[in-house]
Structure 1
């Protein structure tokens, strides 16, 4: 469980940070797309779109940073994982394209707005499922021989990967519902409260099922979580999940506007921490460690200088955008 701090470790945490920021920032607008059919009124749909219009297209910045950083800092892992995950990755990109195009076009047409609404929902759901399936396929391990992927085209498709795909989609829907609580008012907000209750219990169930199934994938996962002294570090994670779930339930019962969204983010952070505990120090689970996959140290140091400059800039303008467009979104105003 212990790790020495070196340049490869630093880069592993940078990529993990970029992927996590993408998950939480793009997750809620993908969740809005998943929930879109449950809000049939045009006025409600316009408010939903307007709530994310100023920020949604900047969220993919972190996906680019995570994917580009993986290719540059850990090229062996990129070369192994991409062939193993071509299908879900391509499906994710197609979903993001449909979601993005629909987002722009639905506000510029009346005759075909329903068609673009379907594309928005379908693209969001496809992207969310594909991300979860890719995660599950990576967790269950890929067939590596030497320095190459040696599995088949459909190895990613298993009951476990489908389970993780559904879990991610449910989690994104919870983020979307709690985002609406924070950004809307009136009947739309009240409906978002009701949906949040449903999605929270569904997400807790998904977390429980995935957590139970994961140790059965590899004996190393079970050893990581349940052997001494590792259990000292791993036990607080499920306890923290239970505590955050209780706080989230109370915040929904008390009809608080802001706490449900941030507590939902905390659930994602704890789940992400659990994923890191299971995988560390492998970047391709049970096959390739971060040190085996790392590019030359000089290359990583050179890239680290650029990241040290760019990441604070990205965080600054992202934070400024969210600050400028803070507050409630009302019908009749905004992007569409």
Structure 2
């Protein structure tokens, strides 16, 4: 009985961490994407509007990453130790990049008529943060193993995350901005969408070669039909994104991009389960004892509704398009 309860608690925490990671990827993903796209904005007014569109939400978006790290440390300490030991450089790169872009957002306002340096720091920090997350994803799926195929997979994963975040950022700008920047964002979205889909298809195909555990997982009864259904939803979301972007929709592109990310993330979670590190560490083996998991479950049960409610209220208050008049 104790073993079954512990397994249930471990699976529940796997789902909770997946939920928190999904919140982070969607919310911080679009503001990282806006930072990446700012590198391609030539006009100062456009860059100002891009930063203004996330000024009131970017710091709250990153709190999901903090909660995720704390949850991983408490619920799966063995996985926390293994991942930090093998992913030290990309994780330190991620933290440094987030610090740089946060400083750039604040300091660019104090620049005396010349914010080009801080604009560059903002864009490069966002790009490096997204690429670092892609490296972590690629190395995780390849079980932290070295090799040429694994390195190629990791590089494609980094490109896919960068393109995907840029897609989220472009669709968010469609919703939040107007005039020339909105038209530019639509072109960015239509450019990033095929790149994102191509990276996703290549990663899915290469996964069958570089990750034996994941390929075996796909062959288990009931898994492939679920993944096929998610793929159909992703295809529909992609078509909706392209159509609403092309026909002038404002909220549709971002909503479709969020659905595309969520179903892709759901497919990844299904492919990894019941492992945190494929072939090396299962969720049961990595989990803390049952008492710790229950204690943390009470805490997250109180914290999670507050965070979700605050985020929803925040986006409600700052809804609508930004104005660059001031």
Normalising by the residue count of structure 1, what TM-score does the alignment of the two structures yield? 0.92
Q: Distance in 2 between matches of 1:131 and 1:330?
A: 32
Residue 319 of structure 2 corresponds to which residue in structure 1?
326
Deviation string 1:106-158 (CA, Å, 9 cap, x unpaired) is 01112551111110011000000000100100100036xxxxxxx8xx99981
Does residue 235 of the first structure (1) align with residue 228 of the second (2)? yes
Give 1:172-211 correspondences, 5 Å limit.
172-211=165-204
SS at match of 2:53: helix
Q: Take 1:25 and 1:260, find their aligned partners in 2: how far apart are those partners? A: 15
CA separation of 1:157 and 1:216: change in aligned 2, threshold 3 A: closer
Which residue in the other structure is 1:84 paired with? 86
More helix by share: 2
Unaligned runs of 5+ in 1: 144-150
Q: Give the whole-Å Cα distance in 1 for the aligned partners of 2:38 and 2:225.
A: 42
- Mapped contact 1:31–1:177 kept (Cα < 8 A): yes
Aligned length: 322
Structure 1 counterpart of 2:283, from 290, 304, 320: 290
Deviation at 1:194, TM superposition (A): 1.0
2:20 to 18, 21, 39: 18
TM-score, normalised to structure 2, is: 0.94
SS in 1 for 2:39: helix
Shift of 1:252: 1.3
Unaligned 5+ runs, structure 2: none
In 2, the alpha carbon distance for the partners of 1:196 and 1:232 equals: 30
SS of 1:177's partner is helix
- Note the 1:47-58 alignment, pairs <5 A: 47-58=49-60
Q: Which residue of 1 aligns with 2:151?
A: 158
Q: Provide the residue aligned with 1:301 in structure 2.
A: 294
- RMSD over aligned Cα, in angstroms? 1.9
Between the aligned partners of 2:148 and 2:207, the Cα distance in structure 1 is 17
